[in-house]
Structure 1
Amino acid sequence: MMRLKAPKHSFLNSIDKCCDGITGNNVLKNKVIQSKNALEAFEQVYSASGQTGELFTFAPLKCGKNDDPVVLGNLTKSELVKLYDSYFVGSKKPGRSIYNSLMLAADEKCPFCGGIGRPRNLDHYLPKAHFPFFSVLPINLVPSCRDCNMDGKGQGFAISKGMQVIQPYLDDLKFFNEQWIYASYTPGVNDEPGTFVYSVNPPENWDIEEKKRVHTHFKDFDLAVRYATKAAEELITCLTQINSLKSLNIPDNQIKQALIEPVIAQAPFVNHWRRGMYQAIGQILLNGD
């Protein structure tokens, strides 16, 4: 739900860097070099499919957990997985420079959860266990926090358009520029803080599959709970500021203009938890509802 700029490194860059790091295993290195053109051809297909929401159309590798079939050319599943694990992630390997570049591009904010978590590693949007030919494809590697990577997405993958979570590099800009997450606020009793409930309400003009996708993303990454938790942490400060202004007999509409509207306008992106929080507070507390 946070847009990331497309990686500056191509699939070919990534493959070449991995090959530069393969020492003492000329068999694997030669296999990768021989399959380089075939691997590179996947990049354009992946990019085009991502831009139209069709990444679910890629067929996963069908094999048992302990099987190691030939996947592309002479490259086996385990060899393509090893390309990432040993020659892309390895701290002393040339491929690590691309890994680090992808991590830094996220600016310490996980794009899946809207920056609540801090990226800890790269998540394979299409998991390498099922799609090993994309193991070192930069646009398939998304900086992700531990919660989103392990608990949210894990090794799952979509088998229909509506099951796909948002692809931060490639998806339609509507998912990033139009609001589809909103909050409601129920005031507390006896001066106790109230509660927030976040929910999905995509624009009416979106098609049914686009609406399903944001519901899927919201659910898979547990954003209802994670957003409400962040809002609750900020609520006391917000209420204190509002009550202080009210004690000075400042009209509600002026409080809204001075305190609420600037936060809404300055939220990092339209579906940020803070934007929804202050929209809800503005409606309930300052409109007298």
Structure 2
Amino acid sequence: MRILLKPVFTIDEVYAKCLAGVGDARLVASFQVILPAVSAHADLYDLKAGLSSLYELPQNTALNEDVILDGVTKKQLKSLYSQYMVPQEKPARIYYDLLIGMAPHGKCPYCGFGQASTLDHYLPKSKYPFFSILAANLVPSCKDCNTGKLAGVAVVASEQSIHPYYDSAIFVESQWLYARVEETHPPSVTYFVSPPLTWVEESKKRALKHFEDFKLAKRFSIEAADEISSISDSFSESIEYLDEQEVRRQLLRRSAAEFRKHKNSWKTALYQALASSNWYCSEGCRI
């Protein structure tokens, strides 16, 4: 999990750039009429997100062909993103690329290891069409996080996954992701969530919700399996000269380095778990 700086460009400038790519003058006129409403929705989003209360925003249940405001259909509002922001040849594509570029080191902020190559609508445009091109609702993400996350929308505060632009720094400053070693052949690890006891209940549930929504237990375990194989290979040439204490010391050094970078990365949890496992340090590392 990573926290990102909130985008600085406004809904008005992104909206104007999208309209610059619309060839139908009548449609442009219709979109211009509803701009004040779109801007008002953006302000409300910013207010609610700042209070971790996006779950309070009502969902739009209209059908795609239904007119939802001053002659503009739900489908047309959603198309501002799909037809006028995503395509390479459209003027608003510049904002799409800028948002992708906000991912730290090109990594997805939801999982921390996938390549950020697409934009995820934190609130889905199918249910919140007014936020289809709102920069604060568009999070650079990997394809697995964007397409593989659970599709439900939060209806209470504790069901909200972590929002990279708005949520409290506790989700990156305090460790809540851990792993335990499974005595299998080859060794493996299982990931789990254990937030600090000092956290309020809502934050604890949100960390778990994020972990479940993006199916991180399985995805982290797959990454860890490859890393464990690499660790075994690195030990193989000198393992006969390494006792349990030296194996643990090397793992602790690596876990400390990963912890300094990201407290809640799958690598931090992995190396902590391996270093704390007597079985792995004495036997598992030799398998």
- Unmatched 5+ stretches in structure 1: none
TM-score by length of 1: 0.88
Moved more, 206-215 or 133-142: 206-215
Contact 1:121 1:143 in 2 (8 A): yes
| Closer/same/farther in 2, CA of residues 249 and 220 from structure 1, 3 Å limit | closer
Q: Which of these residues, 111, 114, 119, is aligned with residue 113 of structure 1?
A: 111
The residue that corresponds to 2:220 in the other structure is 227
Structure 2 residues not aligned, in runs of 5+: none
Residues paired across the two proteins, number: 280
Q: Hey, what does 1:26 align to over in structure 2?
A: 25
Tell me if the contact between 2:274 and 2:281 (Cα under 8 Å) persists in the aligned partners. no
Residue type of the alignment partner of 2:180? S
Do the aligned partners of residues 226 and 139 (structure 1) sit closer, same or farther apart at CA in structure 2, a change above 3 Å counting? same
C-alpha deviation, 1:123, in angstroms: 1.3
**SS of 2:133 mapped into structure 1:** coil
Cα RMSD over matched residues?
A: 2.3
* Identical counterparts, % of pairs: 33
Letter in 2 for 1:68: D
The answer on 1:262 being equivalent to 2:259 is no
Q: Check if 1:187 corresponds to 2:197.
A: no
Report what 2:92 is aligned to.
95
Q: Which runs of at least 4 in structure 1 moved beyond 6 Å after TM superposition?
A: 286-289
Partner of 1:159: 155
Is 1:54–1:161's contact at 8 Å kept on the other side of the alignment?
yes
Match of 1:204 among 193, 197, 202: 197
Aligned partners of 2:190 and 2:8: how far apart in 1?
39
The alignment's TM-score, normalised by the length of structure 2, stands at 0.88
Within 2, Cα distance between the matches of 1:238 and 1:90? 43
Could you report, residue by residue, the CA deviation over 1:161-194 in whole angstroms, capped at 9, with x for unpaired residues? 1111111111111112211110001234xxx322
Paired position in structure 1 for 2:59: 60
Return 32-41 or 270-279, whichever deviates more.
Answer: 32-41
Which residue does 1:273 correspond to in 2? 266
Contact 1:245–1:255 (CA under 8 A) maintained in structure 2: no
Q: Equivalent residue of 2:191, what SS?
A: strand
1:222-257 deviation digits (Å, cap 9, x = unpaired): 1111111111111122234456555325671x5444
Q: Which residue of 1 aligns with 2:41?
A: 42
2:230 equivalent in structure 1: 237
Supply the distance in 1 between the matched residues of 2:66 and 2:110 (Cα, whole angstroms). 31
